[in-house]
Amino acid sequence: MFKTVGFMIVPSIILLIVATVIFVKVLGQGSKRYDIFEIEGNEMVVLAGIPVRYRINDIETVTFSNVLGRYGSFVGIMKIKKKDAMFGRRFLFDASTYHKKFVLTSTREEIDLATDILIEKLKGHGIAYKKIEYVTDDEIKELIAQANQMDDELDEE
């Protein structure tokens, strides 16, 4: 009977120890776990689950944009294009990057603030960047109306 109890207790204790170590590691990161990337020496390390490393000299540009995701929440997009590459790799982020804590939804303003913080980090290391502003459907309609009005004015002349 004691052998059976021992076989049940030992795996439970091992599982508890492993879970505690993982929990302490995650809590030990603090607000760092909400960072999108960090610069280590001559490398930009993107913290996307499994870290992705880029040599700073190999990066052509880092492009930031944002889109309206599902359920009305905005998502930030960071696209890294290497110098000899045709396409870049995309990484997504939300307002957790700005607030340094978990958030359920992100507004366009929060994504813009997070993007500005990330751009400042890139500037400090001389990495080229672009920020693509989000344009709403209403703004597009307004621009089209203005263009049509200009065309009408030119036709009248």
DSSP 6-20: HHHHHHHHHHHHHHH
The verdict on 66 and 110 lying in the same domain is yes
| 45 belongs to a structural domain | no
Task: Share the mean pLDDT of the chain.
Answer: 82
The alpha-helical segments, DSSP class H, found in the chain are 2-28, 96-99, 108-123, 137-156
Phi, psi of 95 (to 5 degrees): -70, -10
* CA distance linking residue 57 with residue 125, whole number of Å: 11
Q: How many distinct structural domains can be found in the chain? A: 2
* CA distance linking residue 133 with residue 97, whole number of Å: 18
What percent of the chain clears pLDDT 70, i.e. is strictly above it? 83
For tokens 């004015």, name the residue: 153
The verdict on 16 and 85 lying in the same domain is no
Q: Residue 144: pLDDT band by 50, 70, 90 thresholds?
A: confident
CA distances from 128 to 35, 38, 87, 99, 118 (A): 19, 15, 16, 25, 12
| Beta strand extents in 35-136 (DSSP E only) | 37-40, 43-46, 52-55, 59-68, 74-82, 89-93, 129-131
The verdict on 9 and 73 lying in the same domain is no
* 154, pLDDT greater than 70: yes
Which among 40-49, 56-65, 138-147 has the top mean pLDDT? 56-65
The verdict on 16 and 77 lying in the same domain is no
Q: Can you give the pTM of this predicted structure? A: 0.66
Please tell me the predicted confidence (pLDDT) of residue 59. Answer: 93
The verdict on 20 and 62 lying in the same domain is no
The verdict on 84 and 24 lying in the same domain is no
Query: Stretch 38-45: mean pLDDT, rounded?
Result: 90
Which among 33-37, 129-133, 144-148 has the top mean pLDDT? 129-133
| 26 belongs to a structural domain | yes
Domain assignment of residue 18, given as a range: 1-31
The verdict on 72 and 119 lying in the same domain is yes
| 39 belongs to a structural domain | no
Please tell me the predicted confidence (pLDDT) of residue 139. Answer: 73
Tokens of 152: 């009408």
Please tell me the predicted confidence (pLDDT) of residue 16. Answer: 76
| 86 belongs to a structural domain | yes
Query: Which residues make Cβ contacts (< 8 Å) with residue 126, sequence separation at least 6?
Result: 56
| 27 belongs to a structural domain | yes
| 152 belongs to a structural domain | no
Please tell me the predicted confidence (pLDDT) of residue 25. Answer: 57
| 148 belongs to a structural domain | no
Report pLDDT digits (tens) over 51-88: 899 999 999 999 999 988 878 889 999 999 999 888 88
The verdict on 1 and 61 lying in the same domain is no
Alpha-carbon dihedral sign for residues 96, 29, 13, 15: positive
